[in-house]
Chain A
Amino acid sequence: MALTSQDIARVANLARLELRPDETEHTLSQINGFFALVEQMEAVNTEGVEPLAHPAAVIGEVALRLREDIASEPNQREASQVSAPAVENGLFLVPKVIE
């Protein structure tokens, strides 16, 4: 199953990426080359097999632990905003979203 340039445009929008027209063609052929490889997965019988998320779970239960819901970090607003593209009065600036 080959992807089309419409698929590429749809996925780029979902991923919030903007591809130039020449990039779209190139990306399309590379991704289709890649999916030719992925098709091999179809041949594997996975009936009744549970998906594996934490690799060590293959030998036993892995409990993902929780911690108490309390603030454990000091307030580092200034250090955290040093790398922000636009900040005013300690707030992150974004384009207007609500008219």
Chain B
Amino acid sequence: MSAGTPNNTNTALHELGVAQLAAKLAARAVSSVEATQHFLARIQQEQLGAFLATDASVSLAQARAADARLAAGERTPLLGVPLAHKDVFVTRDFPTTAGSKILENYRSPFDATVVSQLGVAQGAGMVTLGKLNCDEFAMGSGNDNSAYKPVKNPWDMSRIPGGSSGGSAAAVAARLVPAATGTDTGGSIRQPASLTGITGIKPTYGRCSRYGMVAFASSLDQAGPMARSALDCALLLSAMAGPDPDRDSTSLDLPAVDYAAELLAARPAGAGDKPLKGLRIGLPTQFFGAGCAPDVLAAVRGALAEYEKLGATLVDVSLPLTELSIPVYYVIAPAEASSNLSRFDGVRYGHRAAQYTDLNDMYKKSRSEGFGDEATRRIMIGTYVLSHGYYDAYYLKAQKIRRLIAQDFQTAFTQCDIIAGPVSPTVAWKIGEKSDDPVANYLADIYTLSSSLAGLPGMSVPAGFGAGGMPVGLQLIGNYFKEAQLLGTAHQFQLATDWHLRQPPSL
């Protein structure tokens, strides 16, 4: 950051990550109001389609509240730092659409637990800049299923940013926000993070409360942070995680952890240039086959070579049911979605058709007008696999294979500490390329679905570039509750490399 006029200093605020910006706020070198204004001005200019809602008066009121806490002497790690939320987290002060027309103009009477834990009123003191575009009800891998507009990848505006947290990923990559929340059901944090060159973590299922997340597939949905570095993700995850005993019965009864402190302490004394000595990284042979594009494999192998330099050893492991994770996921997730989306009936909230004959006709017309193609398709699939006579053959069978998939991971973790591989078999594709081919989209989720089904924590870490100069992410998968180890492993890589610091040439 070049010194100069105060104006120049502000111009560079968006270059700072969460930890750096927090330090500047704590030193009172900049106020939260100034930081908020700076990011809002950038958001106003954005051409990516990343945002669905902003409200400067709300954001600035939150920033003033954060500044008051700073003025009173409070020094906590996220105080006054702005962020934006994926539009599946309900917010009292901004509309929430989940990327769907059926929720156009919806106003929640409450904040999601994750939103209030991060927020300024009762939480860590972060300022909400607005709501981020996503695939409708988080169903998609390209953000082209948003009912409002597609999101563009800041590395190449003709390409998708990934999905479903595509707005979150694009906004972080384009330096419109220092960090964002995302949700991951089958890869929706990791895949867009990979395709836009940022860092994102999906924690263990149940680590963050699902209360106030618009439900897609309840046994898979999990919230997580997206930012530029593992350190920034650690800071956010510490505030997001923790049990929510009265509001989410599936949230884990485990206390929140100070992930950033663990990560900074992780480098053992005397380890020298081999900080990861003793770490065994498992490479599932099924993740390195012909299905993965050579440019992606080259970047992933380069990152693994770096890990070897840091002292880690690479071992081959096997996840034999990897291919099966696609049908298993695409039976279970639509089944749960069809149940969750039955609440949209045009009565208590959401779109209601203008013309109808009776109650049943009102349901049908309201839902058919309100849901987009992918949501409709998944409701249809889900309803079918749960219907009389098919439940055992599809849903129950899928839940049984799910157990086998989860057991395979446990077998693999007897041979290694962390599993690594690609996140996505290709770099970001062109907008519209797979729009009308749902099965092609489903197949591209192959490397993220199995860990989602098993409920394991997973990350994407920037690992280099592939075809067309597009970013490639390295996926790291940890065992249950091992988020700290995962973040620490990513952090050591980021101390030794600068892939996570690269920014789109258009900036």
Which A positions have Cβ atoms within 8 angstroms of B? 3, 7-8, 11-12, 14-19, 27, 30-31, 33-34, 37-42, 44, 46, 49-56, 58-59, 64-67, 72, 76, 79-80, 82-86, 92, 94-97
Contact B400 A50 (CB under 8 A): yes
Give a binary string over B76-93; 1 marks a CB under 8 Å from any A CB, 0 the rest.
000000000000000000
> With A51-B399, A55-B454 as given contacts, are A79 and B109 in contact (CB-CB < 8 Å)?
yes
Instruction: Give the distance in Å from the alpha carbon of A65 to the alpha carbon of B253 in the complex.
Output: 9
Interface SS of chain A: loop
Interface size of B by CB at 8 A reads 74
Instruction: Give the distance in Å from the alpha carbon of A17 to the alpha carbon of B382 in the complex.
Output: 13
User: Which of B20-28, B37-45, B127-135, B323-331 is near enough to bind chain A?
Assistant: B323-331
- Kindly list the 9 A-B residue pairs having the minimum CB-CB distance in the complex, ordered from nearest: A55-B455, A51-B399, A85-B352, A79-B109, A52-B403, A46-B400, A58-B406, A83-B349, A18-B364
Instruction: Give the distance in Å from the alpha carbon of A21 to the alpha carbon of B245 in the complex.
Output: 47
Give a binary string over B373-406; 1 marks a CB under 8 Å from any A CB, 0 the rest.
0001101110110010000001011111111101
Contact B364 A16 (CB under 8 A): yes
| Closest chain B CB from A87 CB (angstroms) | 10
B residues near A97, Cβ cutoff 8 Å: 359
A residues near B379, Cβ cutoff 8 Å: 15, 17
Contact A92 B109 (CB under 8 A): no
Contact B362 A51 (CB under 8 A): no
> With A31-B377, A55-B455, A94-B347 as given contacts, are A37 and B330 in contact (CB-CB < 8 Å)?
yes
Instruction: Give the distance in Å from the alpha carbon of A41 to the alpha carbon of B253 in the complex.
Output: 34
Contact A54 B109 (CB under 8 A): no
Task: Say whether B219 faces chain A, with CB atoms less than 8 Å apart.
Answer: yes
A residues near B455, Cβ cutoff 8 Å: 54-56, 58
Contact A82 B107 (CB under 8 A): yes
Instruction: Give the distance in Å from the alpha carbon of A35 to the alpha carbon of B351 in the complex.
Output: 31
Task: Say whether B118 faces chain A, with CB atoms less than 8 Å apart.
Answer: no
Contact A44 B401 (CB under 8 A): yes
Contact B245 A67 (CB under 8 A): yes
| Closest chain A CB from B188 CB (angstroms) | 16
Instruction: Give the distance in Å from the alpha carbon of A34 to the alpha carbon of B333 in the complex.
Output: 14
| Closest chain A CB from B452 CB (angstroms) | 8
Question: A55's contact among B106, B327, B453, by CB below 8 Å, is which?
Answer: B453
Question: B380's contact among A11, A38, A84, by CB below 8 Å, is which?
Answer: A11
Contact A15 B383 (CB under 8 A): yes
**Could you pull out 19 A-B pairs where Cβ atoms are within 8 angstroms?**
A11-B383, A14-B387, A17-B371, A37-B330, A40-B324, A41-B327, A44-B324, A44-B401, A49-B401, A53-B219, A54-B219, A54-B455, A58-B410, A58-B455, A59-B480, A76-B109, A83-B350, A85-B349, A86-B352
Contact A49 B359 (CB under 8 A): no
| Closest chain B CB from A50 CB (angstroms) | 6
Query: Knowing that A15-B379, A41-B331 are A-B contacts, what are 16 other residue pairs whose CB atoms are under 8 Å apart, sorted by A's residue number?
Result: A34-B442, A37-B330, A38-B331, A41-B324, A49-B404, A52-B403, A54-B206, A55-B456, A56-B455, A58-B455, A59-B480, A80-B109, A83-B348, A85-B351, A92-B347, A96-B358
| Closest chain B CB from A61 CB (angstroms) | 12
Task: Say whether B415 faces chain A, with CB atoms less than 8 Å apart.
Answer: no
Task: Say whether B205 faces chain A, with CB atoms less than 8 Å apart.
Answer: yes
Give a binary string over B416-440; 1 marks a CB under 8 Å from any A CB, 0 the rest.
0000000000000000000000110
Task: Say whether B159 faces chain A, with CB atoms less than 8 Å apart.
Answer: no
Task: Say whether B158 faces chain A, with CB atoms less than 8 Å apart.
Answer: no
Contact B402 A17 (CB under 8 A): no
Contact A41 B328 (CB under 8 A): yes
A residues near B206, Cβ cutoff 8 Å: 54, 56
Instruction: Give the distance in Å from the alpha carbon of A40 to the alpha carbon of B442 in the complex.
Output: 15
Question: B407's contact among A40, A58, A76, by CB below 8 Å, is which?
Answer: A58
Instruction: Give the distance in Å from the alpha carbon of A53 to the alpha carbon of B402 in the complex.
Output: 9
Q: Counting chain A CB atoms within 10 Å of each CB, which of B219, B352, B380, B455 scores highest?
A: B380
Contact A49 B400 (CB under 8 A): yes
Question: A64's contact among B250, B348, B398, B410, by CB below 8 Å, is which?
Answer: B250
B residues near A18, Cβ cutoff 8 Å: 364-365, 367-368
Give a binary string over B338-356; 1 marks a CB under 8 Å from any A CB, 0 the rest.
1000100111111110001
Contact A31 B381 (CB under 8 A): yes
B residues near A14, Cβ cutoff 8 Å: 383, 387
Instruction: Give the distance in Å from the alpha carbon of A96 to the alpha carbon of B331 in the complex.
Output: 36
B residues near A65, Cβ cutoff 8 Å: 245, 249, 253
Contact B250 A85 (CB under 8 A): no
Which chain A residue shows the least CB distance to B103?
A: A83
Which chain B residue shows the least CB distance to A1?
A: B393
